[in-house]
Amino acid sequence: MSHDQNFKNLLLAYPRQALAFFAAAEAAEIDEQVRITPVRQEQFQERLGERFRELDVPLRVEWPDGRREALLFVLEEESDARRFSIHRLAHYCLDLAQLMKTDRVVPVVIFLRQARNAPRRLRLGGDQDTYLDFRYLSCALGELSYEDHRHSDNLVVRLNLPNMQYPARRKVEVYAQAVRGLIELEPDPEKQLKYLDFIDIYAALDDNERAEYQRDYPDEAQTMSRFAERFHEQGIQQGKHQGEALVLERQLRLKFGTLSEEVQRRIDQASEQTLLNWSERVLTANRLDEVLH
């Protein structure tokens, strides 16, 4: 799955937290009564043609009591700031405004890394006046200090700690703090499992760093291991082969690091009983081959 798609899934899963982080000023009046819904992008594809970008996330914010008009937030994630086009974003926002019959549009760009050279303003005009003045809200995750956000109670912030700025020697600490936030702020076991993968993807610990995490943060590691066991038992009861395989992959990655294509193929093809046997061996095995023999 691409970085773009990972971010789209995150924004759709936690839209309220995402707006509070990436568009704090505009989202200040969004309380629990406000309804936030993704705008169905199918309606744009035919009319926007080549300009349509499926990975943008338009969110419609509505106040049920009518005290404010609806707001349309347009969130765009850029893994590489060099690909960003302010002209494309402006065009897209104008198209959406026309289609949705509103001029209350808030463009938000999330840069995965640094974005110091990205254009922040687009002005069109002549010698006498400016006729279009377009700006957007910007959040460059790679320019944010991990230290300033490490204790945030916003789950989207905590999941993105590995994308922030920190000394390389603190990478395992950053990973642990992100996992701790996931455990504390997300009560749903299935979402915990899903977004632990999100943290893994962006932290990208190597084998030595993963061993350091197991050694220095045993509480978090054991908590996720116990959760994986509980989820595993639920998968057995429900007879869900896919759930069994997913939990086993998680257990193996937590203990042994990145899995090869061959190992993943064996997991996909294994029976439920084999997956159960392998999951039990994970707890005592010191090597991957001791699990899968």
Question: What pLDDT shows up at residue 173?
Answer: 96
| CB 186, CB 178: distance < 8 Å | no
The mean pLDDT of 233-239, rounded to a whole number, is 53
Instruction: Please state the pTM of the whole predicted model.
Output: 0.75
Question: What pLDDT shows up at residue 235?
Answer: 53
How many CB atoms within 10 Å of residue 221? 18
**For 133-191, what is each residue's pLDDT tens digit?**
999 999 999 999 999 999 999 999 999 999 999 999 999 999 999 999 999 999 988 78
Question: What pLDDT shows up at residue 237?
Answer: 53
Residues 6 or more apart whose CB falls under 8 angstroms from that of 277 comprise none
| CB 147, CB 165: distance < 8 Å | no
In single-letter form, the type of residue at position 242 comes to Q
Range scoring the smallest mean pLDDT among 64-68, 72-76, 177-181 = 64-68
For Cα atoms 265, 271, 277, give the angle at the middle one, nearest 5 degrees.
95
With b for 16 or more beta-carbon neighbours within 10 A and e for fewer, the 251-282 pattern comes to: bbbbbbeebeeebeeebeebeeeebbebbeeb
In single-letter form, the type of residue at position 92 comes to Y
Q: Among 97-106, 157-166, 221-230, 240-249, name the most confident range.
A: 157-166
Question: What pLDDT shows up at residue 111?
Answer: 94
For Cα atoms 52, 64, 29, give the angle at the middle one, nearest 5 degrees.
80
Q: Give the 3-state secondary structure percentages of the chain, helix then strand then coil, rounded to 5.
A: 55, 15, 30
Please list the residues that pair with 107 across neighbouring strands.
Answer: 74
DSSP string for 141-210? GGGSBHHHHTT-S-HHHHHTGGGSB--GGGHHHHHHHHHHHHHHH---HHHHHHHHHHHHHHH---HHHH
Dist CA 234 CA 244 (whole Å): 9
User: Which of 15, 8, 66 lies closest to 41, judged by CA?
Assistant: 8
Work out the burial of residue 244: count CB atoms within 10 Å of its CB; fewer than 13 is exposed, 13-18 middle, 19 or more buried. buried
